[in-house]
C-alpha cells in the first residue's frame, strides 16, 4: 500500500494542507505584531498655542507679557492646572507647548484663558485648545 500512487498522493495532500493550517496562525500573529510595533513608533504631533498680540489699531506688539491660566472644572479627577507665561517676540507672537498637559487617550477641547500685560494696558482672550494641533488665538491689548 505504501507504493500505491493514489494513497501516497492523498497522504501528500493531507500533509501539505496540515502544514498550511499550522503556519497561517503564526503568520497572522507575526503580521499583527509588526503592525503594532510600527504604529507604536509613530511620533504624535505636539499640541501648541500661538498667541498673536495686537493693540486696538491692529498693530502687533513685541515684549508683551502673556500668561496662560487654565483651571480644571473637575479638580478631583483632573488636578492639572495650566499656568505658563512668555514674552511676545518681534513679530508679536508668543509660543507655548501644551503637550505635557495632555494625557494619552485624552480627548476633547481644553479652554485656556490668555492674559496679556503691556505698560499698563491689558487684554484677555479665551483659547480653545485641540490636542495634537497648532492652535492660534488673537489677543488684543487695550
* pLDDT recorded at residue 119: 92
Q: Which residues of the chain fall short of a pLDDT of 50?
A: 1-2, 9-11
Domain count for the chain = 2
Range of the domain at 16: 1-42
Residues 67 and 83 in one domain: yes
What pLDDT digit, counting tens, does each position of 5-31 carry? 555 544 455 555 555 566 777 888 888
Residues 26 and 54 in one domain: no
pTM as predicted: 0.65
How far is 138 from 120, CA to CA, in rounded Å? 19
* pLDDT recorded at residue 120: 92
Residues 26 and 73 in one domain: no
How far is 107 from 128, CA to CA, in rounded Å? 13
3-class secondary structure for 89-105? CCCCEEEEECHHHCCCC
Query: What is the secondary structure of 2-54 as a DSSP string?
Result: TT-HHHHHHHHHHHHHHHHHHHHHHHHHHHHHHHHHHHHTPPPPP-EEEEEEE
How far is 7 from 14, CA to CA, in rounded Å? 11
* pLDDT recorded at residue 1: 45
Amino acid at each position: 500500500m505504501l507504493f500505491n500512487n493514489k494513497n501516497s498522493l492523498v497522504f501528500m495532500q493531507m500533509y501539505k494542507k496540515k502544514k498550511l493550517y499550522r503556519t497561517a496562525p503564526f503568520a497572522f500573529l507575526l503580521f499583527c505584531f509588526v503592525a503594532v510595533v510600527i504604529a507604536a513608533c509613530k511620533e504624535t504631533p505636539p499640541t501648541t498655542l500661538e498667541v498673536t498680540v495686537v493693540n486696538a489699531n491692529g498693530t502687533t506688539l513685541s515684549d508683551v507679557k502673556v500668561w496662560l491660566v487654565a483651571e480644571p472644572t473637575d479638580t478631583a479627577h483632573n488636578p492639572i492646572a495650566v499656568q505658563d507665561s512668555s514674552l511676545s517676540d518681534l513679530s508679536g507672537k508668543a509660543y507655548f507647548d501644551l503637550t505635557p498637559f495632555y494625557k494619552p487617550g485624552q480627548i476633547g477641547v481644553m479652554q485656556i484663558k490668555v492674559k496679556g500685560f503691556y505698560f499698563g494696558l491689558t487684554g484677555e482672550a479665551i483659547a480653545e485648545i485641540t490636542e495634537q494641533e497648532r492652535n492660534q488665538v488673537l489677543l488684543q491689548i487695550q
